[in-house]
Structure 1
Amino acid sequence: MLPKGFFSATTCASVKPNNTTRDDMALIFSKVPATGAAVYTTNKVFAAPITVCRESLSDGRAQAIVVNSGNANAATGSQGLQDARMMRRIASEALQINELDVLVASTGVIGLPLPMDRMVPAIHTMGASKIAPYDPLVVAQAIRTTDLFEKHGATSLQVGNKEVIINAVCKGAGMICPNMATMLCFVQSDAALTKAAAQSALQTAVHRSFNRILVDGDMSTNDTVTLMANGLSGAPTIDIGTPEYTIFTEALTALLVKLGKDIVRDGEGSTKVVNIIVQGAVNDDDAQIAAKSIANSNLCKTAFFGCDPNWGRIAAAVGYSGAQIDQNSFDLFFDQVQIVRQGVALSGDTEQRAAEVLQKEEFTIRFDLNLGDGIGNYWCSDLGYEYVKVNADYRT
């Protein structure tokens, strides 16, 4: 299931000197200029490619994106910005398109200059001789860093009497903490969208997906989600406020939620995906604050890893979150197993049954504050031994 009019290429540029075999650069190309949108990290230390993307998307138009893994091109000063702009220029020359219609993304080690002597000829090669029909699996392989598996997906919807396809490729496994997570995601669609609709739909979908995942509490310098919608489906143009806009946004959100959960599942050393639901809060903001506090608690996450239903850690995390709580009124469930009622542990075999829930690869923690109608959620991983191993050796 692929959107019409998109092409891709990948190659090995040895961005990391010890990489001589694995593709580490990718190019995604639309045969016609597309409506473009993007959402970026909120980290105040942000990578040069983000500046370049903002320049290119100032007119809401994009036709290609060039990506490298292995080097973040972050904290690299004026040289890093020059290099990111050079990536854009070389890609535009190779594809023979407008330079400002090219987006740039990088991921990998922070603080090192890009090996432009290897990357420039690699970009030329991709654009001049390797462009082929879009292959999301191959692109997903090329943009990986510590990822254990490729992340991509697609969905379809009806707009008018035409089928519209949305496809996305994604990478991410560590430094995962909103807003956003440490990840890159590139969405392609053959829908026709106005500039405002594209940006609004993407922001809404990211807020409901990538801004609700958490692995380790660290935020990256490079997080970027882009959308290119080229209109080649032939469907009517979608604008904000129409039924088609709602349908498109819901479909995009569902796809990004799936990819967000894949990132959590692939979290460095992760063995579990935990859906944290907080309900009964005084409002939705309070519910989100409480849910994030549980998801970000190392004590909770290590208990999940050890299959220990240590509910006191969960209650403590909500208690210090800043959300309103009455310690004598909350209920707590592990999947359908209630372990706490009105702030007090239930007796019998509830703890044993809760421990059995924690042995599953995916489960839900539901915390009911019983104070109002507010609801929120996060997806998080557990935290085990392998996380330390992966990150202790990251640069070696």
Structure 2
Amino acid sequence: MATKLWANSGDSHFLEPEDLWRTRLPKRLAELVPRSEKDPDGKWETVFVDGQAFRRRLPSIAQEEFYAAANRAPGAGNVELRLKDLDEEGIWSELVFPSLGMWASSFRTPEVLREALRASNDWSVETLMSHSPRLLPTAQVSTLSIEDACAELKRCGELGFKAVFLPVAPHPMQKDYNQDDWEPFWALAEDIGMVISFHIGTEPVDMSNGGAAGIMYRGPGGAVLNYTETTFGGQRAVMKLVASGALDRHPNLKVLVSEGGATWVPFVADRMEEGYRQHSMVVRPKLKRSPKEIIYSQVYASFQHDLSAVAAMTGMGYNNVMWGSDYPHMEGTYGHTQRTLHDLFDNVDQITRDRIMFGTFNELFPEAPLPPAPGTLNPAEATA
């Protein structure tokens, strides 16, 4: 029987109660959060969000089964069952991203979005953070208003959050991340030690497309094309923070891109290095450090299955590689985490495997408890 391996995870998700915002916001605001009404024939629904409405076809039975499988783990929305799942899978501490927050780009009223995300943060403290130090929820802030984002970031730092979730592109009504408007936010995040956590596949939702997220291609190959396309947003977000000088100005600010793999980092670093050097006459702003130095020291990346991600460290010298389970999503490792960890690390030297399985995570989040020793079967043994 294979030795049980334990690892920390830089990527997971939790399903909040569907009525979280409706029950916690004043009635005048609760009426503006997302809700849907199904047609009598059960084939279409109308979705209402912040004074907007769009129609979309409901999934077929096969599609419903497909999407249900994406959150099939018992602990997807139950914190007690979640820890049991993690113990069984061999996952110790994990960074937890939201689910309701994926609606954020659909809001138009700053007050509604600010209060909805504030409610989500309070719920995360009550339900996740206070339940176990193994669960590290990401704070949520409005990207519709940078002023609101800074105020909530400061509050979340006081509440004990260690990371803030940002979509890979800000709200469509807001300036992009490479603009100076965001400077107060980056400065504040660095000052309070908050990790900027981008999660791939979080581009703003196109309401004209029926609120469908992540659908750019249709027809032959569409599923694979759309899945692959989700990885690029995180790369673009990093490029903006590097090229604009934001990370250069804030050398202690750390950025994590979750679920996007790791081998893109050396490539993007080389590409930006070349552009900065070869086009130096027109490059603005000038950086104190090279793009590659900035990226290798401040940018972290998580992956779940990619064998090539290990090579990013062993063959390309990029040390900020972090494993993540993507629990409970179907792209993740739930149900086969042990097999995945053994496939990835059985033939890897101890320094590399320790770094990727828990060292990188604990560098970003030093307060997180270390995982048990390999072979430990249950958490009680970890403190024995």
User: TM-score, normalised to structure 1's length?
Assistant: 0.26
Q: Which structure is larger by alpha-carbon Rg, 1 or 2?
A: 1
From the two aligned structures, give the one with the greater strand fraction: 1
- Of structures 1 and 2, the one with the larger relative CO (CA 8 A, separation 6+) is 2
